[in-house]
Structure 1
Amino acid sequence: MPAHFSDSAQTEACYHMLSRPQPPPDPLLLQHLPRPSSLVDKTQLHSRWLDSSRCLMQQGVKAGDVLWLRFKYYSFFDLDPKTDPVRLAQLYEQARWDLLLEEIDCTEEEMMVFAALQYHINKLSQSGEVGEPAGTDPGLDDLDAALSNLEVKLEGSAPTDVLDSLTTIPELKDHLRIFRPRKLTLKGYRQYWVVFKETTLSYYKSQDEAPGDPIQQLNLKGCEVVPDVNVSGQKFCIKLLVPSPEGMSEIYLRCQDEQQYARWMAGCRLASKGRTMADSSYANEVQAILAFLSLQRTGGGGSGNHPQGPDASAEGLNPYGLVAPRFQRKFKAKQLTPRILEAHQNVAQLSLTEAQLRFIQAWQSLPDFGISYVMV
């Protein structure tokens, strides 16, 4: 516990409250909370956020005004769950409410994963696995952390790695199936040899033609990257909306498996931000995508083969408190419960801290994450 939280019993109680995940909301209350239904609503919602560096009166708030205070907490840097459980819990709460209030969109499969993680976190929280592990020596924890940081610094400062990053331009080359939707066309996906270098995507009829002129070359800087994935159906597609003089050019890339999808998806996401695969975040992005896909993978025993134990039972599971209202309208509770329990098989072995981290990482990987809408 940080020193500034141990001044009194009141601050200590505040620390435990802030570091504890909150229980699921009442489904009836969730349906009546305001949520954006269009881009205009999202624009109005985002324009009402206050600046924490300015006082309320500078931002048009007068005496006697009633405010509905919420938080927008984008402090992900140097997140160490051992030393900062409060920040971890608050980021988890923000991510959870972003999904429940439909401020950020996700697919059905992704929603089931988020619901399973919430269910798992609630179970662990109710069982008392909250806060710092008992019986650990703070001195040993500090020593382990210092040794880990030193190891990372030594590995990162290897001269060969620096030279390789300066002389080698990372690129991806592989066979992908491509589909370009056009009016009055019946053509489907066709296989091409695709080369992805820096922020440019080029594709050819065959690998032998690669040194020549490509069929088309696309600069992905500023494009919109949308995942179209169904893990159980082995569908791994990337939808690209690329700006062009004629408007937005739409193109679909279909990958063969999870590994190929993770590499190309990570490259497309970085390219859309103007960064290349030489960026240090590329490897982390690939791992985050693979981790999120593994959560969506169903168990081999089918929906009726759930692991035994109190955490896997449906007791106390109200699915309507774990999913966004649009899924409540689409599915009945008896349809949602087995799907959530099936997704729970992939996260049942996670600790409370690991489950919260997985939830935050999966939230960050959603296409609409970090996007704010403004009226110009």
Structure 2
Amino acid sequence: MIHVGDNSWNLRIFITDLSLERQMRVRGDQHLGAIMLQLVDPENPKDWSDHALWWPARNIWLTRTRLTLDQYGVQADSLLHFTPMHKILRVQLPDLRYLDCRVDYSLKTFGAVVNLCKQLDIRYPEELSLSKPLEADHLKRNFAQEHQQQKRGVNVEPAADTNSFVPIIAASDHQHQHHGGVADGGSSGSLDKPSSPGMFFCAPLSPHEQRSQRQRQRSPLTSSSPSPGTWQPSNLGYATYDSSSSSLGDFQENLACSPATPSREVRERLLRPKSLEEKARLNVGWLDSSLSLMEQGIREYDTLLLRFKYFTFFDLNPKYDQVRINQLYEQAKWSILNEQLDCTEEESLMFAALQYQVNHYHHIDTIDSGIEETSSQENDDDEIDSALKELEITLEGSDHLRKTANITHIPELADYLLYLKPQRFTWRGFKRYYFTYKDLHLLLYKNAEESRLNRGNPSLKINLLGCEIKTEVNQAQHKYAIRLEVDPEQGNNKSNSELWIKCDNDLQYAKWLAACRLASKGRSLADSSYESEIDQILSLLQIQKPLPGIPVDIDPISVDPLDYLSPKMLRKLSNKSVQRILEAQANVRELTAIESKMKYIQAWQSLPDFGVTLFIIKFDGHRREELLGVAHNRIMRMDLHSGDHLKTWRYDSMKAWNVNWNIKCMMIQFQNENLVFSCHSADCKVVHEFIGGYIFMSMRSKDNNQTLNDELFHKLTGGWS
């Protein structure tokens, strides 16, 4: 039948669940909601409430059902897909286990992560995000070079997003799906579909096994491994497990307790960057938080990594955060073992000892599962005591703040220390000076008497605001050194961008290191956290002290050093590895599993390079590539090969940051200068999102009633075209 004069036309819609294409007679002024009602059969008992329209050609969801076809720009040559919004996503957790989760592919990635973390019982989901899995080849070339390589290979149209990096392996799968007629990756008739939007699956398979199964058109849960069972959502807001045949057991319990070692195949696929350039290229895979998964080329049964992205952890509480603490501990552990962060020998052994203690306690819990039940009353008493202690600390803290608010005399720190300023071609010996610290400045005098007589005219004055701090400690040799990289444009230290301070003992080291750390953040010794910072440093030093001669009741044969030390440290310690690990374990043998994890995270946060996300950039007007380090309170210009800090800019001096999406160039405006650069190792949107995300994290407070302001997050991280 030919329709004349009614302004109607045929619209093609592919129903993915039925693998069926329908043609509908529509008008441009029709609302999407009305079209969707006409599309489904009212007599069919199937629930279509989770379905929406996806436009593959434009790479967008048509979720605003009150808009018309004309308002969306849909015309007669368009092909729409009617497909479920919730799809299966294979997620690798920080402990390297895989879960198949039902995720809303139509939500912005930030919202999808929030919902996923709610199911996994992880608080503060804004600290995490999803990343595309990388292969070793991705660390050999920069972001732009990777795209050129893809263009020369498989002819794949990249996803139309601001972070259009798509791993080469996944690209061939997408092309296969497109030619197969299910371009959105929706479920075909041969794939088993879960019936509930909240369902989880244990997925002990590797990504390679997953892809081979999908190519054979089999269920992604079919494997030679034992039946994984099904995660069923409970009324408590987290998933519980209904099958005793699973290797994971109870859902929340297992996420709070990970296997000691992953499968050999999964471990072999872990990336181990060999240079600062490769560490920077690790950050190419982060998804755009302001776009949905589908808009970024992610299709059903694809694999993504769930990781902590922003290294500022709010209100980490063992009482409420057992899953969060365990997954954070696992991410920290693999960053150490894969050499993403540099460690000294003593630090590596301390991490190995804490890791062994965690595994030891989990092994005991597996053997004797009734321990917690018999001590439940004691735990209740402990919870009451800890709550009273928290209240006492809070009251003491507020009282302390009231006292310090009225103080007119700012505390000082003064002592004899050794000072070294490295020269260009030689390292002259350390010289002994009398150091005083006041009001964020180090003042150096020849002796204590000169500091009293000549306070206004020191031999050297160093501004520590925004300084970078690295340490070098060897307690066996009584070496306690602090390396400071200061801004050469502040104070009268114009030529002293780097200096070393050597302390006599651990207590002196802890006091001065704590003072330097506070000063770098703009805090004086009057800050209430000064004493706790000293205690934390001393605590970490204590568990790093070698204790030879202590009887060891552990069979050395049961300890595989490959599980506890990085390859570099294994080569260094050689056949003494197990002995040194067990000696270090003697320092922490009284700690429980949760205490060991918290101590591990604390030590991880104390490493010099912790929390600095690297990008390879090129400043406007410069021909040489450099490093940009993004941290929770500052960005740093760094040398690409040595990692030395050339200049630091703090967020509190930032006025604005913008991106020119056409030329992929970023501009950051500070009070005294503007930075203009292009990012080579990732899309500039990733840098933009890290800066905005950290500013958002700094605005969190318990006074905010624990509500997540996602609108503010997108305002700070989203950017605009």
TM-score range, shorter chain: 0.7 to 0.9
Matched-pair contact (CA < 8 Å) for 1:225–1:240: yes
**Where do 1:164-313 residues align within 5 Å?**
164-167=404-407, 168-183=409-424, 185=426, 187-210=428-451, 211-245=455-489, 249-299=497-547, 302=548, 305-309=549-553, 312-313=554-555
- 1:145-181 Cα deviation digits (max 9, x unpaired): 43223222332233x6523344142321111011111
Matched-pair contact (CA < 8 Å) for 1:306–1:341: no
Aligned counterpart, 1:320: 562
Q: Indicate the larger mover: 136-145 or 101-110.
A: 136-145
Aligned counterpart, 2:637: none
Higher RCO, 1 vs 2 (CA within 8 Å, ≥6 residues apart): 1
Alpha-carbon offset, residue 279 of structure 1: 2.7
Higher helix share: 1
Aligned counterpart, 1:123: 360
Question: CA separation of 1:197/1:46 partners in 2, compared to 1, >3 Å: closer, same or farther?
Answer: farther
Question: CA separation of 1:53/1:100 partners in 2, compared to 1, >3 Å: closer, same or farther?
Answer: farther
Higher strand share: 2
1: CA distance, partners of 2:249 / 2:265 = 33
Q: 1:331 aligns with which of 567, 573, 589?
A: 573
1: CA distance, partners of 2:371 / 2:340 = 32
2: CA distance, partners of 1:140 / 1:4 = 26
- 1:57-113 Cα deviation digits (max 9, x unpaired): 45x334379544141164633322233321221111111011112221111110011
Is residue 23 from structure 1 mapped to residue 256 from structure 2 by the alignment?
no
Aligned counterpart, 2:394: 153
Alpha-carbon offset, residue 368 of structure 1: 1.0
2: CA distance, partners of 1:64 / 1:15 = 25
- 1:287-327 Cα deviation digits (max 9, x unpaired): 1111110011111xx2xx24343xx3313101121111222
Alpha-carbon offset, residue 275 of structure 1: 2.6
Is residue 133 from structure 1 mapped to residue 368 from structure 2 by the alignment?
no
2:417 is aligned with what amino acid?
Answer: L
Matched-pair contact (CA < 8 Å) for 2:397–2:528: no
2:466 is aligned with what amino acid?
Answer: G
Alpha-carbon offset, residue 346 of structure 1: 0.4
1: CA distance, partners of 2:612 / 2:288 = 17
Matched-pair contact (CA < 8 Å) for 1:21–1:121: no
1:340 is aligned with what amino acid?
Answer: I
5+ residue gaps, structure 1, are none
Tell me the secondary structure at the aligned position of residue 63 of structure 1. coil
Is residue 111 from structure 1 mapped to residue 348 from structure 2 by the alignment?
yes
1: CA distance, partners of 2:397 / 2:272 = 44
Aligned counterpart, 1:340: 581
| Matched positions, count | 367
5+ residue gaps, structure 2, are 1-120, 122-235, 618-676, 678-721
Aligned counterpart, 2:314: 77
2: CA distance, partners of 1:131 / 1:370 = 39
2:566 is aligned with what amino acid?
Answer: A
Tell me the secondary structure at the aligned position of residue 327 of structure 2. helix
1:136 is aligned with what amino acid?
Answer: S
Alpha-carbon offset, residue 277 of structure 1: 2.5
2: CA distance, partners of 1:27 / 1:46 = 25
2: CA distance, partners of 1:24 / 1:62 = 29
Tell me the secondary structure at the aligned position of residue 498 of structure 2. strand
Using the size of structure 1 for normalisation, the TM-score is 0.87
Aligned counterpart, 1:95: 332
Alpha-carbon offset, residue 221 of structure 1: 1.7
Matched-pair contact (CA < 8 Å) for 2:478–2:505: yes
Question: CA separation of 1:132/1:90 partners in 2, compared to 1, >3 Å: closer, same or farther?
Answer: farther
Identity across matched positions, percent: 38
2: CA distance, partners of 1:339 / 1:93 = 22
1: CA distance, partners of 2:321 / 2:402 = 32
Matched-pair contact (CA < 8 Å) for 1:104–1:369: yes
Mark the structure with the bigger radius of gyration.
Answer: 2
Tell me the secondary structure at the aligned position of residue 226 of structure 1. strand
Question: CA separation of 1:143/1:338 partners in 2, compared to 1, >3 Å: closer, same or farther?
Answer: closer
2: CA distance, partners of 1:173 / 1:277 = 12
2:307 is aligned with what amino acid?
Answer: F
Q: Indicate the larger mover: 341-350 or 71-80.
A: 71-80
